[in-house]
Structure 1
Amino acid sequence: MLNLKILEKKVQKYIQTHVGDKIPELVLKGSPFNEIKNIDIIEQIESKSRCKSKLPTWYNTPSILYPNKLNIEQCSSERTAYYKSTLVSGENLIDITAGFGVDSFYFSKKIKNIISCEVDKKLSEISEHNFKTFNTKNIRNKALNGLNFLKKTETIFDWIYIDPSRRGPNKEKKILIKDCNPDVSKHLNLFFKLSQNILIKLSPMVDIQAVIKDIVNPKKIHIVAVKNEVKEILVVLKKGFSGETTIKAINLDSEQPNFEFKISNEKKLVLSYKPPEKYLYEPNLAVIKAGAFKILSRKFKIGKLGPNTHLYTSSKIKNKFPGKIYNIKKVIPYKKRNLNKIIRGTKANIKSRNFTKSVNEIKEQYKLIDGGDIYLFFTSTQLNRVVLVCSKI
């Protein structure tokens, strides 16, 4: 049961004052309020601290209630929640695994009526309070199992959204679709009985080929990164869709363009490989996760360095590339003795791509110092191992 005394001004002021403080020190201090347990105040401080950049609307709004830090860790960021909202339209949507309600909140800006289901009663009450604080009036909260609700309802929805729990009974992380709760692959008939459109959020670690195999014939898979860190895999299903799945790689909060392709086009391409030329291209991690390797080379007319090296090169610059572009200053064959004389003690940004040593091993071996404007790519071409001395464009 929620202790609403947490919302009193003096308590809220205390929470805000101690956001970012060391939790062990706050634990030792104890609660300054007789009617509120210290564990409840600590939970608010710790969770609010985690929302500063992830959920700035929540963080900057007075009188918001927060769940435990694990719920904050598992919920979508505002940036990715907004992106999801651009994928849906219509009159009604049901979120059957709502959690802290971030996705439901952003869906409510695009869809007229939202049903937000969360089996954890306390978490559902927290979300309902926050929706009222935001003056959001088109979300109906239901503190129940969303899957069970679907089994009983006769309502037809424009969209069903599922973000399966990726935690086991001992809070261990789960990645495979079959290990998540619910296992969406087992309930597709139920979903399509009630909606033409399904949106599923999966772990960024999930294998894309496994998704296509386990969730038969997705219409589109979105690989969503934020500032070059893959955050979510979004699967769009359309009832009756019989075409080939489109893969879309997105790197939010960057100026890099999105990249779309079909896996069959990737598989059928045969490439010849090129040695380093004037420019080097490093795809963003959403593109890498998507598996767009050969097709990227063909699309931008840039040479791939080697079959397992996902770096590209050209003599003329190709703008609007979904990743970073570098100017190659020098190509050094990887010969340990000569290389030691050339780069030992250099200040540079080190990258290891399809190479036998990790970044840390390379730094240690050559006593390299992090930073500066120089980038050293330790990598492999089709013929040999090289070090590419580059500057970013």
Structure 2
Amino acid sequence: MTTAEFIREYRERDIRQLALQANRFPDVDMPYALDQIQGWQIARRKLPKWAACDGVIFPPHLSMEQCSSEPTAQYKLNLAMEWAERVGHASSMTDLTGGFGVDFSFTSCAFAAATYVERNEQLCHIVEHNLPLLGLNNATVVCADAVEYLSTVEPQTMLFLDPARRDEHGAKTVMLADCTPDVVQLLPKLLEKSRFTMLKLSPMLDWHKAVDDLQGTVREVHIVSVGGECKELLLVLSTVVESELKVYCADLSTASDTSSLFVYTPGSSAPVANSKLKTQNSKFVHEPNASIMKAGCFDELAAAYGVSPVSRNSHLFLSDEPVEDFPGRSFVVERVTTMNKGELRKALAGIEKANIATRNFPLTVAELRKRLKIKDGGDVYIFATTTAEGEHLLLISRKYR
């Protein structure tokens, strides 16, 4: 059995079990085969179009885990196309930190010519092999250091960077200055060599500080979530376009759809008054999606959708009527109770299972679940929070949408 045959036949198997059986297949390059099987298994989840493409070579595990998923890569393509139209130019782009090439394979489609730059020679060979299989014929692969190449590249419509977010010991870094290459140091050259630059950064990064560090050149901040988890922070830099900063909070559901998109200008809304909860009132409670939680745009959200915060630090919002397009999840509040034992017993009567979340509450989910003696699951949602007056309450709810 050849290595290629082994990969095709066993690609759905557990790689740990396959590694233990290596002696059974003396003609198979087992380390390579296991890398390809593991890569394909990850791609089936993150990059289904790539997984369905025969002949694609996958890199070692770390590169696969760090690469973009199809929904986030598609989002970047849409963003690149919008900005290319905005600057009236779509001739060329260069990805200075190519990696496995997922983002490059998508964003390059917006331009007449595209250059992939990567200092890892192995990744360059892999990408050079994969691009024609993926139908990309406008691309050039260059094995070079990003900083050195930037000094020689001709002006581009777009430059793209995804700086490495691990230090020399492999530990994750989230500060912009700790990433490689140092974007702040490269800023003058990036602006000189592009009509706009797109940066992909860690979702853990403080976007406010990043905007400050980039000295007024950031035109847009895009906070992108998939499946309720914040995945990417994208910044678009330009001196060609002059505009006030806008923040886009996108929550992606599929490879082609944006389930919710909230756009705002930082500082555009005055604080909204806290809601006054009453146990006899039936209201709707709204939980913002992960992108909005990351953005911290709670005043702007409340003003835009006519909802009231439970308190300044609860990050839960109430309304008397349903809000059909709220960017997050909405629930019907059936009961509200304090932590008084008698009230709790009455409010929780008949509830054996519930999904519990704590927001600005003195107990953890585990501690509260133990006190309430309720199992996890079911269709009841309990939000434990604290009002502006300091009262600890439980909002017993069911999903509205």
Task: Give me the TM-score of the superposition, normalised by structure 2.
Answer: 0.90
- Paired with 1:216 and 1:334, the residues of 2 have a C-alpha distance of 49
Which residue of the partner structure matches residue 206 of structure 2?
Answer: 207
Cα-to-partner distance string for 1:104-157 (whole Å, 9 max, x where unaligned):
11012221111001110001100110112223211101111122111123x110
Which residue of the partner structure matches residue 4 of structure 1?
Answer: none
- Paired with 2:41 and 2:259, the residues of 1 have a C-alpha distance of 30
Which residue of the partner structure matches residue 164 of structure 2?
Answer: 165
Give 1:341 deviation, angstroms.
6.5
Which residue of the partner structure matches residue 321 of structure 1?
Answer: 326
- Paired with 1:349 and 1:356, the residues of 2 have a C-alpha distance of 18
Q: Does 1:296 align with 2:297?
A: no
Comparing 82-91 and 334-343, the one that deviates more = 334-343
Give 1:10 deviation, angstroms.
4.6
Counterpart residue identity of residue 398, structure 2: S
1:224, 1:286 within 8 Å by CA — same for their partners in 2?
yes
Which residue of the partner structure matches residue 330 of structure 1?
Answer: 335
Which residue of the partner structure matches residue 244 of structure 2?
Answer: 244
Q: Does 1:261 align with 2:261?
A: no
- Paired with 1:304 and 1:177, the residues of 2 have a C-alpha distance of 32
2:38 to 6, 29, 46: 46
Give 1:362 deviation, angstroms.
1.7
Q: Does 1:56 align with 2:52?
A: no
Which residue of the partner structure matches residue 190 of structure 2?
Answer: 191
Cα-to-partner distance string for 1:329-355 (whole Å, 9 max, x where unaligned):
001112256425653872111111111
- Paired with 2:65 and 2:290, the residues of 1 have a C-alpha distance of 21
Q: Does 1:120 align with 2:120?
A: yes
Which residue of the partner structure matches residue 139 of structure 2?
Answer: 139
Counterpart residue identity of residue 132, structure 2: K
Which residue of the partner structure matches residue 6 of structure 1?
Answer: none
Counterpart residue identity of residue 322, structure 1: P
Give 1:68 deviation, angstroms.
0.4
Cα-to-partner distance string for 1:291-328 (whole Å, 9 max, x where unaligned):
11111111111111101111111112222111111111
Counterpart residue identity of residue 168, structure 1: D
Distance 1:295 1:135, change over 3 A: closer
1:222, 1:234 within 8 Å by CA — same for their partners in 2?
yes
Give 1:243 deviation, angstroms.
4.0
Which residue of the partner structure matches residue 5 of structure 1?
Answer: none
- Paired with 1:255 and 1:96, the residues of 2 have a C-alpha distance of 27
Give 1:167 deviation, angstroms.
1.4
Distance 1:85 1:144, change over 3 A: same
2:247, 2:266 within 8 Å by CA — same for their partners in 1?
yes
Give 1:231 deviation, angstroms.
0.5
Give 1:29 deviation, angstroms.
1.1
How much identity, in percent, do the aligned residues show? 29
Counterpart residue identity of residue 382, structure 2: L
Give 1:37 deviation, angstroms.
3.0
Q: Does 1:230 align with 2:230?
A: yes
Q: Does 1:270 align with 2:271?
A: yes
- Paired with 2:145 and 2:116, the residues of 1 have a C-alpha distance of 10
Give 1:94 deviation, angstroms.
0.1
Which residue of the partner structure matches residue 87 of structure 2?
Answer: none
Distance 1:216 1:336, change over 3 A: farther
Which residue of the partner structure matches residue 388 of structure 1?
Answer: 395
Counterpart residue identity of residue 106, structure 1: F
Task: Please give the secondary structure, in 2, of the residue aligned with 1:53.
Answer: helix
2:6 to 11, 14, 28: 14
Counterpart residue identity of residue 374, structure 1: V
- Paired with 2:273 and 2:41, the residues of 1 have a C-alpha distance of 51
Give 1:79 deviation, angstroms.
1.0
Comparing 128-137 and 278-287, the one that deviates more = 128-137
Task: Please give the secondary structure, in 2, of the residue aligned with 1:370.
Answer: strand
1:256, 1:321 within 8 Å by CA — same for their partners in 2?
no
Task: Please give the secondary structure, in 1, of the residue aligned with 2:97.
Answer: coil
Distance 1:300 1:322, change over 3 A: same
Task: Please give the secondary structure, in 2, of the residue aligned with 1:319.
Answer: coil
Cα-to-partner distance string for 1:24-57 (whole Å, 9 max, x where unaligned):
3222211655454321111111222111110111
- Paired with 2:395 and 2:128, the residues of 1 have a C-alpha distance of 55
Counterpart residue identity of residue 294, structure 1: D
Q: Does 1:85 align with 2:77?
A: yes
Structure 2: runs of 5+ lacking an equivalent: 85-89
Structure 1: runs of 5+ lacking an equivalent: 1-8
Counterpart residue identity of residue 164, structure 1: P
Task: Please give the secondary structure, in 1, of the residue aligned with 2:275.
Answer: coil
Give 1:283 deviation, angstroms.
0.7
Counterpart residue identity of residue 203, structure 1: S
Cα-to-partner distance string for 1:333-392 (whole Å, 9 max, x where unaligned):
122564256538721111111111121222223232122111111111112110011011
Distance 1:61 1:255, change over 3 A: closer
Which residue of the partner structure matches residue 373 of structure 2?
Answer: 367
- Paired with 1:350 and 1:296, the residues of 2 have a C-alpha distance of 24
Comparing 31-40 and 201-210, the one that deviates more = 31-40
2:2, 2:28 within 8 Å by CA — same for their partners in 1?
no
Q: How well do the aligned residues superpose, as a CA RMSD in angstroms?
A: 1.9
1:31, 1:41 within 8 Å by CA — same for their partners in 2?
no
Counterpart residue identity of residue 308, structure 1: N
2:312, 2:388 within 8 Å by CA — same for their partners in 1?
yes
Which residue of the partner structure matches residue 30 of structure 1?
Answer: 22
